[in-house]
Chain A
Amino acid sequence: MSAVGKLEQAGHHVGESVEQVVDETHAQVAHAETTTGLDHRKLVMWVFIASETIFFAALMATYLVYRGKTPYEEGVGLLDLNVASLNTFILLASSLTMVMSLQAIENKKKGRMIVFLILTTILGLAFLGGQAYEYGKLLQEGISLDTNLFGATFFVLTGFHGSHVAIGVLWIIMLIIRALRGGISEHNHLSVELGGLYWHFVDLVWVVLFTIIYLI
């Protein structure tokens, strides 16, 4: 008891300021009081992205290991660089529209944000369309998931990326719906930032995929 008392006395100064700070923090922040001083939702998003990096790295490594094991004319030779290049520009542009939507809501322009989110959705769907076209051409050539090593590694790698794009599109559509219902405001738009982080990550993965599949 007396020890606690002494401690309290010794740290009276500190204690007081801590209480003051706690009050201030509570007043300022409704949702976050964390030991890191960071919003855990955003931190978890980054941890998730780091884990996704490892996931895609495994698939990329597999693709690279088996690269060249399939005859050129039955594998990489069938790919169309033009379609892939167009898709690259589409996805890069979608990252731009995504970051512009975040900037819009930060600047208190909600309508502008929704427009940019819709543009991102359209670009995401265009990318998926390009991928579907590419898949269709490969399947026409008789290359599928179980044809050869190229087919197996290519479809697994790009398929997982494509499904990430599809999930991203759904995510953004949900953001648009939420915004229209009034769930997103200039003070509460972490959801847009988190969706954006995911979307940019998907773009980032494609930047690497484009190089290792179509360029090298």
Chain B
Amino acid sequence: MEHGQAIPQTTIEPHRDPGDFVAEEARIKKAKPNYIGVFILLAILTAIEIGIVSLFHKENGNSTVGRVPILLGLTVAKGLLVILYYMHLKFDSRLYSIFFGAGVLAFALPMVIAFIFLMSPPQLHSVRAEAGEGGTGGEQGPTAPSFVGPPITFDAEGGEFYFKPDALAAQAGQGVRVTLTNVGSVEHTFAISNKPKSEDPTPWTTNDGKEIAHAPAGSTGKGSFKAPTPGEYLFYCDVPGHAQAGMVGTFTVQ
């Protein structure tokens, strides 16, 4: 009986017959989807997206909140164009849409939303605070100065036993990207003191500093940090004996 029920369906609506491509194609041809037009529309929407991003710069990696819904809306519009026209869902059997829609709406979308809300809320505030902050600057917490602007780069050469250049200046809260090129024959590091020079003139003996970059002999090490509160600090190589031998530089925070 089940068999009998299904077959008449194909006759009542002959265009549902999958093998009969002629009927299906006839419908698509009749609809005459303008694929080039769809592409132009997709390109324009993408150009608008890029335009929005270029016009409203990210502040230290954070989106200005208002543009997110606009960008997501444009993305959904682009996605629908691809699905409805390029993937033919607009002209095809509704059953395909149901299978795909079920996947997206019942599983994929709720999963993304659940992930974000279940995993993120406790950290949401810190996410905003940490963006643009150095990897080791987290513990500075709420007292960390906020600085809006691009990070600076500090390319230093390290050898036995010197830094070149041996002075670095940054704004409080500014991100500093360090590249240490080791031209020597033993390993060297780039570390900064936690306390100002006046409070701790030899951080390498008190061990009160942070290693930012590490470069084995003949290679390059990279790292970054966020400049602390204003003052005069030291940067040094934390390999025992190296700072004493002269691998020290001054780090001025304005």
In the complex, what distance in Å separates the CA atom of A117 from the CA atom of B181? Answer: 48
Q: Write out the residue numbers on chain B whose beta carbons fall within 8 Å of the beta carbon of A29.
A: 17-20
Report whether A216 and B68 are in contact in the complex, using a CB–CB cutoff of 8 Å: yes
Given A30-B19, A46-B99, A85 contacting B46 (CB threshold 8 A): yes
User: Does A54 have its Cβ within 8 Å of any Cβ on chain B?
Assistant: yes
Q: Write out the residue numbers on chain B whose beta carbons fall within 8 Å of the beta carbon of A214.
A: 53
Q: What's the nearest-Cβ distance from chain A to residue B116, in Å?
A: 6
User: Does B187 have its Cβ within 8 Å of any Cβ on chain A?
Assistant: no
User: Does B253 have its Cβ within 8 Å of any Cβ on chain A?
Assistant: no
Q: Write out the residue numbers on chain B whose beta carbons fall within 8 Å of the beta carbon of A32.
A: 17-19
Report whether B224 and A71 are in contact in the complex, using a CB–CB cutoff of 8 Å: yes
Among candidates B16, B53, B131, residue contacting A215 with C-beta atoms closer than 8 Å? B53
Select the stretch in A122-130, A171-179, A199-207 that faces chain B: A199-207
Q: What's the nearest-Cβ distance from chain B to residue A213, in Å?
A: 12
Select the stretch in B71-79, B159-167, B244-252 that faces chain A: B71-79
Report whether A71 and B100 are in contact in the complex, using a CB–CB cutoff of 8 Å: no
Q: Write out the residue numbers on chain B whose beta carbons fall within 8 Å of the beta carbon of A24.
A: 11
Report whether B20 and A28 are in contact in the complex, using a CB–CB cutoff of 8 Å: yes
Report whether A14 and B4 are in contact in the complex, using a CB–CB cutoff of 8 Å: yes
Q: What's the nearest-Cβ distance from chain A to residue B55, in Å?
A: 12
Given A53-B103, A71-B175, A204-B83, A37 contacting B4 (CB threshold 8 A): no
Q: How many residues of A contact B (CB 8 A)?
A: 80
Q: What's the nearest-Cβ distance from chain B to residue A67, in Å?
A: 8
Report whether B35 and A50 are in contact in the complex, using a CB–CB cutoff of 8 Å: no
In the complex, what distance in Å separates the CA atom of A89 from the CA atom of B71? Answer: 17
Q: Write out the residue numbers on chain B whose beta carbons fall within 8 Å of the beta carbon of A30.
A: 19
Given A53-B103, A68-B61, A207 contacting B79 (CB threshold 8 A): yes
Report whether A21 and B8 are in contact in the complex, using a CB–CB cutoff of 8 Å: yes
Q: How many residues of B contact A (CB 8 A)?
A: 81
Q: Which of A34, A37, A203, A210 has most B Cβ within 10 Å?
A: A37
Q: What's the nearest-Cβ distance from chain B to residue A42, in Å?
A: 7
User: Does B135 have its Cβ within 8 Å of any Cβ on chain A?
Assistant: yes
Report whether B100 and A49 are in contact in the complex, using a CB–CB cutoff of 8 Å: yes
Among candidates A35, A54, A95, A208, residue contacting B6 with C-beta atoms closer than 8 Å? A35
Q: Write out the residue numbers on chain A whose beta carbons fall within 8 Å of the beta carbon of B54.
A: 81
Interface string of B209-227 (1 = CB under 8 A from A): 0000000000000101010
Which B-chain residue is minimally distant from A199 (CB atoms)? B86
In the complex, what distance in Å separates the CA atom of A39 from the CA atom of B193? Answer: 69
Report whether A71 and B7 are in contact in the complex, using a CB–CB cutoff of 8 Å: no
Contacts of B120-167 to chain A: CB distance below 8 A: 120, 123, 127-128, 130-135, 151
Q: List 17 A-B contacts (CB under 8 A).
A: A28-B19, A29-B20, A35-B3, A38-B16, A43-B99, A50-B100, A68-B128, A68-B130, A69-B123, A72-B151, A73-B177, A75-B61, A85-B46, A92-B42, A96-B86, A103-B35, A215-B52
11 further contact pairs, Cβ within 8 A, besides A15-B4, A37-B16, A71-B133: A28-B20, A37-B17, A47-B99, A50-B104, A71-B224, A73-B132, A92-B39, A96-B36, A207-B82, A215-B50, A216-B63
What is A's interface to B at a CB cutoff of 8 Å? 14-15, 17-18, 21-22, 24-25, 28-32, 34-39, 42-43, 46-47, 49-51, 53-54, 56-58, 60-62, 64-65, 67-77, 81, 85, 88-89, 92-93, 95-96, 98-100, 103, 106, 141-142, 148, 187, 189-190, 193, 196-197, 200-201, 203-204, 207-208, 210-211, 214-216
